[in-house]
């Protein structure tokens, strides 16, 4: 093989590698879900894997006052590899769901592995229980001080665009205070874990 | 370049092409969002593009009775290229959110282009208004007869796994009856369109 053709092949191999190497957020090698019987670990895994969530609130907006309302928000429970289990959010009171929360902070967050490449790669339909998803019940509250510092690190590391969001929106950091954890990750219906079990669990595989 | 090295390069080029060519469901060439000022078209586009949705209900389950509850469901408004605008679902009364709906059918569905590859490819954060999302307010109702036939075609064509779901779950077809459409697809806050405007709009680009 000539030097030129070898160089061309090396370049092609490099491009090929770059193109098949998935981004960190969608890497199949990183998406190794814990065993389904370790429910709290599965919950922590999903919470750390997903970088956005659907939040349900009780609407305060006409014509649906008092009705449920579903909306999407970026979340982070920590920088990649540093999971706290607490979903942090970067919110503004200009936002419709946040206005709901000011009247009634009760909310529910759902995150599904359908949001990652996992279910597509495994061939699991988004509604299949094997396409694991997590539902958190609780409420949303502003955080301050050192917790706000952690929230900032958690969010801005995974959502770098946030740094440049318009300052006149009066963004603040908030946490989802978890009161109940619901997990759909296998056949046989929903399973629940307590917040204590959830926070004690490790989302990562143990290395031997 | 020798025949062998040329063949190797052709093979590499082929692999490279295959690896960068996205799958049909995530093809950027198919994800061509309508202009943001054509709000109803954007809404129809998102509704047809997403094959699952987050549904908010009012929970009937302890310990969160009366609180909002968010959960993920597969949806389809028609086979690919045949958008009706109506989100159809395949449900079972064994499911927790469906049990909520039996007490109070009011619900909200949200679908975000963060569910597709669009936002990642465009570099839009999931919470950016440019990562367009759609919120539908309304209620869920079982469908029968010819509408159930369409729902079956709409769902099974995009969720082939459903055909084999366990028959003892008593699955039924349901539609989301839309009463209000909320669209977040650009700066300046949420926009609403009426169900009439939504159903009259075309989700597809006009060909000249």
Of A58, A64, A73, Cβ closest to residue B68? A58
Cβ separation B69–A135 shorter than 8 A: yes
Cα first-last separation, chain A: 43
Cβ contacts (< 8 Å) between A25 and chain B: which residues? 120
Token pair recorded at residue B34: 């309508």
Of A5, A16, A126, Cβ closest to residue B5? A5
Question: Which A residues, 26 through 85, put their C-beta within 8 Å of a C-beta on chain B?
Answer: 26, 51-52, 54-59, 63-64, 67-74
Residue A206: what pLDDT?
A: 56
Using an 8 Å Cβ cutoff, are B195 and B179 in contact?
A: yes
The Cα–Cα gap between B132 and B113 comes to 6
- B41 min Cα distance to partner chain A (Å): 19
What's the residue count for chain A?
208
Helix B3-20 vs helix A3-20: crossing angle, to nearest 10: 20
b/e map of B25-42 (b: 16 or more CB within 10 Å)? eeeeeebebbebeebbbb
For residue A124, give Cα distances in angstroms to A58, A70, A113, B59.
31, 24, 10, 27
pTM of the model: 0.85
Structural domains in chain B, sorted by start = 39-200 (2.30.110.10)
Q: What is the mean pLDDT of chain A?
A: 87
Using an 8 Å Cβ cutoff, are A32 and A205 in contact?
A: yes
The Cα–Cα gap between B181 and B93 comes to 27
Q: What is the ipTM of this complex?
A: 0.85
The Cα–Cα gap between A88 and A207 comes to 28
Contacts of B122-125 with C-beta under 8 Å, sequence gap 24+, read B123/A161, B124/A161, B125/A74, B125/A159, B125/A161, B125/A162
Residue A8: what pLDDT?
A: 43
Q: Is A133 near chain B, with CB under 8 Å? A: yes
Residue A203: what pLDDT?
A: 85
**DSSP per-residue letters across A131-178:** S-EEEEEEEEEE--HHHHHHHHHHHHHH-GGGGGS-GGG--EEEEEEE
Cβ separation B72–A114 shorter than 8 A: yes
Q: Is A141 near chain B, with CB under 8 Å? A: no
Low-confidence ranges of chain B (pLDDT < 70): 1-31, 205-208
Strand partners, B180: B137
Using an 8 Å Cβ cutoff, are A105 and A97 in contact?
A: no
Instruction: With residue A98 as reference, give the H or E element that holds it.
Output: helix A96-103
Cβ separation B68–A52 shorter than 8 A: no
Which residues neighbour A105 within 8 Å (Cβ) at sequence distance 6 or greater?
A: A139, A140, A141
The Cα–Cα gap between B181 and B43 comes to 8
Cβ separation B54–A68 shorter than 8 A: no
Which residues neighbour B158 within 8 Å (Cβ) at sequence distance 6 or greater?
A: B51, B74, B76, B79, B80
Low-confidence ranges of chain A (pLDDT < 70): 1-31, 205-208
Cβ separation B15–A16 shorter than 8 A: yes
Cβ separation A69–B54 shorter than 8 A: no
Residue pLDDT, tens place only, A52-109: 999 999 999 999 999 999 999 999 999 998 999 999 999 999 999 999 999 999 999 9
Residue B205: what pLDDT?
A: 63
What's the residue count for chain B?
208
Nearest Cα residue to B115 out of B207, B48, B65 = B48
DSSP strands (E only) in chain B = 52-58, 68-74, 88-91, 106-112, 133-142, 172-184, 191-193
């Amino acid at each position: 093989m000539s030097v030129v053709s070898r160089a061309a092949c090396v370049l092609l191999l490099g491009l090929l590698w770059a193109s098949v190497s998935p981004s960190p957020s969608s890497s199949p090698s990183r998406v190794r879900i814990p065993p389904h019987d370790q429910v709290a670990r599965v919950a922590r895994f999903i919470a750390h894997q997903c970088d956005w969530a659907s939040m349900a609130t009780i609407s305060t907006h006409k014509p649906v006052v008092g009705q449920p309302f579903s909306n999407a928000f970026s979340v982070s429970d920590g920088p990649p590899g540093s999971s706290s289990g607490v979903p942090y959010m970067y919110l503004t009171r200009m936002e419709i769901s946040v206005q709901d929360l000011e009247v009634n902070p009760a909310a529910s967050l759902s995150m599904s592995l359908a949001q990652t490449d996992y279910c597509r790669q495994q061939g699991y339909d988004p509604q299949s229980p094997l396409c694991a998803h997590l539902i958190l019940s609780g409420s949303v509250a502003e955080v301050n001080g050192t917790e706000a510092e952690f929230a900032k690190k958690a969010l801005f590391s995974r959502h770098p665009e946030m740094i440049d969001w318009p300052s006149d929106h009066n963004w603040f950091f908030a946490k989802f205070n978890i009161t109940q954890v619901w997990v759909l990750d296998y056949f046989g219906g929903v399973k629940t874990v307590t917040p204590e079990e959830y926070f004690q669990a490790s989302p990562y595989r143990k290395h031997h």
